[in-house]
Chains A and B, each alone.
Chain A
Amino acid sequence: MTELTLPLRGLIARPLRTLLTILGIALAVAGFVALTGLTAGVQHSFASGIDENGADLVVSQRGAFNLVSSTVPRSLGSGLSAVPDVEAVSGVLLNITTADDAANIVMAGWPAGSFLWNDMHLLAGRIPAPGDQWPVILGESIATALDKRVGDTVELQFQPYQIVGIASFSSVLNQNSAIVPLEGLQQLLSREDVFTLYEVRLKRPLDKNDVAVARTRLMAAAPGFEVGDTEQFANSIRIFDLLQAIAQTISLAVMAMASVAVANTLLMAVNERTFEIGVLAALGWSPRRILRLILIEGVFMSAAGGVIGIILGALAMEMAAKTKFAAGLIVPYLSGWSIVQALIFVFIAGPLGALYPAWRATRLLPADALRRI
């Protein structure tokens, strides 16, 4: 018998209550993992989506609130192209809209002749050609989800587009995006002469130092604008900070509720086990040891809830990402850091909830406790 035997037996002796409390903690942790994971997933999805198109650096508006609100003037392009390390630059206009009013989709407007078209892996059809009327290339996932083929029509931004190609991408964002000629999208959005960002491709061969040098030069060529790699670009978008803050606030509130659930369960357990605590005190268990007994029960429940919660959270993210309206925009992203954060929360919330019942247990006089049988 060890010091863990008694708390474990205590929990097993009340299986339903223990299970419900663990479930409460698990749901709180799942909420945290899913909310923060999905927020990080969106960010990660945008970064990898832009990265995939062959760009090494991105020039965007400094401190843009969201992905589509960044505005970079067309006039910046010539200065960026003139930087010695730059092979090519391409303005890109991004927009989030609905496709056929059935799914949310990212529309990307690419200029004709841009290097972005070069690495595209077409599964069917072709890239838009001059003379095409509102042509679009759909990512494979969104084409499948909407049951669209080359030659079909899809309504984007209230404009019927003709599907000329279906392409395969590695990033979830691009798999669920629609790529259209830049001019048409600028016209639809009334954003002529501006882009959301410039994607910059550097000359090969390339090493880390080359990228750093090129970044410094591009910053000089585009003063007041953000220059960074795709990850830095995604991180600079302030809406992600807002989403993270909302996710963390909700998570904290849910964690607090889980802590109260632990407190309630253990308070009931302490009340029910007054006699047992009295016996232990009579046997010479110190108040500190009795406190530890109750805290260990809290930690056991929190640990179990934490592990189950992480699994539930990961499943919830997968399910959320599979819904038609979230496809491509929401990507499950379970990082080691979010698991660590969840476990830190759990190992604070659980014992915190157990602290008051444990303290109450230590305040009992053994004679009073033993009288209560």
Chain B
Amino acid sequence: MSLLVELSNVGRDFDSGRIVAVDDVSLAIEDDETVAIVGRSGSGKSTILNLVCGLDRPTRGEVRFEGRAVNGRAAWAAVRASRIGIVFQNFFLLQSLSAGENIEVALLGNLGGARQRRIRALELLAHFGLAERATLRPAELSGGERQRLAIARALANRPKLLVADEPTGSLDVQTSQSVMSIIGNVHREFGTAVIVVTHDEEVAALCGRRVEISDGRIRSDSRVAAISTPTPASRTR
């Protein structure tokens, strides 16, 4: 167990400081944790997630990954390429590419050779039950398939950290359960740390740690139990 991500007194302002989205947040996440960042809409939880993976730049404070301060777009890109996989609420799949290519695009630059990339993409598609869908475009997939594809893409480079921003926000109850089950399995199978941003308490309950955000600040930070796999009976919506 070692420290994976550390936010030290991080703040993020918008509109020349008129909007303070995140204020003085300090958060340390270990490499075997599953963390749910919860809060209402506009509480600043997604901004924190963006800061954790360098998609956004803090106005104040410092973000460290694996003990090293990461600064600049190129440095963060390198970290994301090899260490972080991101799953978005709206999947953010590239519509001009097939399912297989959507995974391959994440491998470009990390895995040499088109053939190797293809093999890795097909492996992941098979792992997530999408082997038959490799040549289809995202628009031809169902919501659940798209989210599974997004998770497969996030895992393409065998990341140390999987972050998911409202991963079930666009899905029905059944598909949500399936997606959370997959994320739980990823943690167990690959030992990947997981951070999930959600406003859904049931999703949060599946994580070992719960960080509550309100008005851009951490209101509570509690460890509960290891990540569990949802069962159909455990969830209602």
- A contact set with B: CB distance below 8 Å: 1-3, 5-6, 9-10, 13, 275-276, 278-289, 362, 365-368, 370, 373
Interface pair B105/A6, CB less than 8 Å apart = yes
Residue contact B101 to A285, C-beta cutoff 8 Å: no
Contacts of A278 in B (CB 8 A): 92
In the complex, A186 Cα to B106 Cα: how many Å? 80
Q: Is the CB of A367 within 8 A of B56?
A: yes
In the complex, B80 has a CB within 8 A of chain A = yes
Nearest residue, chain A, Cβ from B96 = A9
Contact flags B91-125 to A (C-beta < 8 A → 1, else 0): 01110110011001110111000100110000000
When the two chains form the complex, which single residue of A1, A13, A370 contacts B108, counting CB atoms closer than 8 Å?
A: A1
Q: B217 at the A/B interface (Cβ < 8 Å)?
A: no
> From residue A368, how far is it (CB to closest CB) to chain B in Å?
8
Q: Is the CB of B96 within 8 A of A286?
A: no
Specify the chain B residue showing the minimal Cβ separation from A362.
Answer: B73
Check A1–B96 contact: CB distance below 8 A: no
Known contacts being A362-B73, A370-B92, is A284 close to B104, with CB within 8 Å?
no
Asked if B110 contacts A282 (CB within 8 A), the reply is: no
Binds A, one of B59-67, B82-90, B199-207: B82-90
Q: Are B55 and A279 in contact, CB atoms less than 8 angstroms apart?
A: no
Contact of B114 with A281 in the complex, beta carbons under 8 Å: no
A279 to B105, CA, bound (A): 10
Q: Is the CB of A285 within 8 A of B56?
A: no
Contact A367 B153 (CB under 8 A): no
Known contacts A1-B108, A275-B92, A278-B92; can you find 15 more A-B pairs with CB under 8 A? A1-B104, A3-B108, A13-B96, A281-B73, A282-B53, A282-B86, A283-B105, A284-B106, A284-B110, A286-B77, A286-B81, A287-B74, A365-B56, A367-B47, A367-B50
Q: Is the interface of A mostly helix, strand, loop or mixed?
A: helix
Closest-CB distance, A296 to chain B (whole angstroms): 13
Q: Are A284 and B81 in contact (CB under 8 A)?
A: yes
Contact status A365-B96, CB under 8 Å: no
User: A289-B109, A367-B56 known; A283 and B117 CB under 8 Å?
Assistant: no
Question: Could you show 17 A-B contacts with beta carbons less than 8 Å apart?
Answer: A1-B118, A10-B96, A281-B77, A282-B86, A282-B92, A283-B81, A283-B106, A284-B77, A284-B109, A285-B81, A285-B109, A286-B109, A289-B108, A362-B73, A365-B73, A366-B50, A366-B55
* Residues of chain B within 8 A of A276, CB atoms compared: 94
- Residues in A neighbouring B141, C-beta threshold 8 A: none
Q: Using a CB-CB cutoff of 8 Å, which residues 139-194 of chain B contact chain A?
A: 153, 157
Closest 4 CB pairs of A and B: A284-B81, A284-B80, A367-B56, A1-B104
Q: Which residue of A lies closest to B51 (CB)?
A: A367
Query: Closest chain B residue to A8 by CB distance?
Result: B96
A371 CB, nearest partner CB in chain B, Å: 10
Q: Is B57 an interface residue (CB 8 A)?
A: yes
A285 CA to B153 CA in the complex, in Å?
13
Contacts of B110 in A (CB 8 A): 284
Contact (Cβ within 8 A) A285 B55: no
